[in-house]
Amino acid sequence: MNAPAAPLDVLMSTPALVARQINTYYGLSHILRNVDFYVMPQETVGLLGRNGMGKTTLLRTLMGLVRPKNGRITLNGIDITGRRPSAVARAGLALVPEDRGVFPNLTVKENLTFAARPCRDGAAGWTLDRIFELFPRLAERRSHWGNQLSGGEQKMLAIGRALMTNPDIMLLDEATEGLAPKIRDEIWETVRQIRAAGIAAVVVDKNLDDLLALTDRNVVLTKGEVVFDGSTADLKADPAFIQHHLGV
User: HEC states along the chain?
Assistant: CCCCCCCHHHHHCCCCEEEEEEEEEECCEEEEEEEEEEECCCCEEEEECCCCCCHHHHHHHHHCCCCCCEEEEEECCEECCCCCHHHHHHHCEEEECCCCCCCCCCEHHHHHHHCCCCCCCCCCCCCHHHHHHHCHHHHHCCCCEHHHCCHHHHHHHHHHHHHCCCCCEEEECCCCCCCCHHHHHHHHHHHHHHHHCCCEEEECCCCHHHHHCCCCEEEEEECCEEEEEEEHHHHHCCHHHHHHHHCC
Instruction: Check whether 5 has a pLDDT greater than 50.
Output: no
Instruction: Check whether 162 has a pLDDT greater than 70.
Output: yes
pLDDT band at 4 (very low <50, low <70, confident <90, very high): very low
Instruction: Check whether 12 has a pLDDT greater than 90.
Output: no
The CATH class, in words, for 15-100+151-246 is alpha beta
pLDDT of residue 121: 66
Q: How far apart are CA 76 and CA 208, in angstroms?
A: 29
pLDDT digits (tens, 9 = 90+) for 84-133: 999 999 999 999 998 888 999 999 999 999 888 887 766 668 999 999 99
Mean predicted confidence (pLDDT) in 193-222: 96
Q: What's the pTM?
A: 0.91
Instruction: Check whether 13 has a pLDDT greater than 90.
Output: no
